[in-house]
Amino acid sequence: MTGLRKKYRMKSFLKKLQSFTNTTRSEFLFVVVLLTGLCVGAAVRLFQLPTAQTQYNQTLRTELEHLVDSLAQAEETTFSGTTPDGMPVPELAAMDTVVKKESLFPQAAKSKKITSGTVNINTASKQELMALPGVGEVTAENIIAFRAEQKFRRTEDLMQVRGIGVKKFQAMRGFLNVK
80-116 pLDDT per residue, tens: 566 666 666 666 655 544 444 555 555 444 556 777 7
Beta carbons within 8 Å of 127's beta carbon, 6+ residues apart: 80, 81, 82, 86, 87, 88, 93, 96, 111
Q: For 144-162, what is each residue's pLDDT tens digit? A: 999 999 999 999 999 999 9
Q: Is the pTM value of this prediction over 0.85?
A: no
**CB-CB contact of 94 with 141 (8 Å):** no
Give 90-177's CATH code, choosing from 3.90.79.10, 1.10.150.320, 3.30.420.40, 2.90.10.10. Answer: 1.10.150.320
